[in-house]
């Protein structure tokens, strides 16, 4: 899969299920010795993530694949290490923290300047120049996440051309490390093949940069009266432990999730909205009922069409479309066995199970014949369940789900308030995807905006 040049999700993963005519299959991958299951069945995914949670873990290989970059934390640990990391994260994503849009507002203002000001300012006809917004969006989410976690933003939006700047070196190293880890994950048991000098150097740079924030936090006196949300997580960790490596690894794991998950969601949402001017108009009409100054957690939640846009984008383009678990003991999956696939399946200890919410989210028997169509209106009166898992489920569900949804909702709302038009060069061109740990549009998000005179 590492060298596969097509769309891995549409051209490789999805056809595996269609060829077998089943949503739970035993697979044989060349050179992979241990048992392997491929699953896109809600009942079985529910068992793995929730009802039989204790039978499954990420397994020791996950730490070996991700460890050089992210270390030991919520995404790479099982057992006590995982539960400890989970407990550390809980306070930082409380409702109070997530609903504070103060720092998000400042970074969105900069994003709007990048998209509609300066060299990209509107021409006489009101349209901006064509621009690939994806790098801009990733810089925005990196800036917001670093300020939220570290108390200081890398401010990559302010210096996108300064390649020698230390903060831009970090941005580039972070991207290289993320891509490298994505490749190691796809290699499975042969993760060690992808361990070149460039990857190792990028990982070292990221860890050293974050360690600098840790050292400063550990050297500062703890002031209980501080109320700012900036750097709250780092302050809380430094009060809990003096272990520099533990703090660094937790920060890196949250930074990865905070940057990539939200950036992926915003990127695909813009790409879909740019292909559907009616949807953009509906979104704009809804958010214009609120002023930019009064947008809040509560008002964003009340925007039904905005929430439907996010839900539909996450259905078709879940940030982590493929995930894995390993059986920690002999167990069973509820369905998938027998001649009709309705009997349990015995799973030996050590079995690797790969489940794809991407495939599940596009099943026509669940979502209808238009399952491959982006249509926010389908969410009118529709509720999620284990057939809709953009942020996982069960004890290991994404702790930053509301953070990502709120940041994405606020960003889209501000964009729709600022521009009355959005379009892409070719609305009929299929959206190709590149898979790392998260999924991205292969060709970026080239769009232009129209500002009302």
Q: Which residues are annotated as a binding site?
A: 398
Residue numbers belonging to the annotated binding site for heme: 398
Number of Cβ atoms within 10 Å of the Cβ of 115: 23
Burial letters 137-171, b for 16+ CB under 10 A, else e: bbbbbbbbbbbbbbbebbbbbeeeeeeebebbbbb
* Number of helical (H) and strand (E) elements in the chain, helices listed first: 17, 12
Integer angstrom CA distances of residue 413 from 32, 52, 112, 272, 312: 46, 39, 12, 15, 16
Tell me which residue of 44, 80, 73 sits closest to 393, measured CA to CA.
44
d(CA 68, CA 207): 9
d(CA 30, CA 436): 21
139 three-state secondary structure: helix
d(CA 240, CA 220): 14
CA dihedral 423, 425, 426, 431 (to 10 degrees): -80
DSSP code for 222: P
Q: What is the 3-state secondary structure (H, E, C) of 275-331?
A: CCHHHHHHHHHHHCCCCHHHCCHHHHHHCHHHHHHHHHHHHHCCCCCEEEEEECCCE
d(CA 314, CA 382): 14
d(CA 419, CA 435): 31
d(CA 366, CA 23): 12
> Considering just the CA atoms, what is the radius of gyration of the chain in Å?
22
């Amino acid at each position: 899969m590492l060298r596969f040049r097509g769309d891995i999700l549409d051209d490789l993963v999805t056809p595996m299920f269609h060829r077998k005519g089943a949503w739970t299959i035993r697979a044989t991958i060349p050179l992979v010795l241990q048992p392997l299951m491929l699953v896109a069945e809600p009942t079985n995914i529910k068992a793995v993530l929730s009802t039989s949670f204790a039978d499954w873990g990420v397994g020791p290989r996950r730490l070996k694949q991700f460890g050089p970059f992210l270390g030991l934390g919520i995404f790479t640990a099982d057992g006590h290490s995982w539960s400890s990391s989970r407990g550390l994260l809980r306070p930082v994503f409380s409702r109070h923290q997530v609903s504070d849009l103060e720092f998000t507002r400042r970074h969105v203002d900069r994003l709007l300047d990048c998209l509609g000001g300066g060299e990209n300012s509107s021409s006489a006809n009101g349209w901006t120049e064509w621009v690939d917004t994806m790098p801009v969006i990733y810089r925005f989410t990196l800036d917001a996440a670093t300020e939220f976690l570290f108390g200081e933003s890398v401010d990559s939006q302010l210096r996108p051309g300064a390649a020698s700047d230390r903060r831009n070196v970090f941005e580039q190293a972070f991207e290289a490390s993320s891509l490298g880890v994505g490749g190691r994950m796809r290699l499975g048991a042969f993760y060690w093949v992808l361990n070149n000098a460039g990857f190792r150097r990028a990982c070292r740079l990221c860890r050293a940069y974050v360690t600098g924030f840790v050292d400063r936090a550990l050297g500062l006196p703890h002031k209980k009266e501080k109320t700012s949300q900036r750097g709250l997580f780092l302050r809380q960790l430094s009060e809990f432990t003096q272990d520099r490596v533990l703090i660094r690894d937790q920060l890196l794991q949250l930074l990865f999730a905070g940057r990539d998950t939200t950036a992926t969601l915003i990127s695909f949402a813009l790409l879909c909205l740019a292909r559907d001017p009616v949807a953009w108009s509906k979104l704009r009409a809804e958010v214009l009922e609120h002023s930019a100054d009064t947008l809040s957690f509560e008002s964003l939640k009340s925007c039904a069409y905005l929430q439907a846009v996010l839900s539909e984008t996450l259905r078709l383009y879940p940030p982590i479309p493929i995930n894995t678990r390993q059986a920690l003991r002999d167990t069973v999956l509820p369905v998938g066995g027998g001649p009709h696939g309705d009997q349990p399946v015995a799973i030996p200890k050590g079995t690797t199970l790969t489940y794809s919410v991407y495939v599940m989210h596009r099943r026509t028997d669940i979502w209808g014949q238009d399952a491959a169509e982006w249509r926010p209106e389908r969410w009118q009166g529709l509720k999620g369940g284990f057939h809709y898992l953009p942020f996982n489920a069960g004890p290991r569900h994404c702790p930053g789900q509301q953070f990502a949804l709120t940041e994405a909702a606020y960003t889209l709302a501000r964009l729709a308030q600022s521009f009355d038009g959005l379009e892409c060069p070719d609305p009929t061109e299929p959206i190709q995807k590149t898979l790392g740990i998260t999924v991205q549009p292969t060709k970026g998000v080239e769009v232009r905006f129209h500002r009302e005179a």
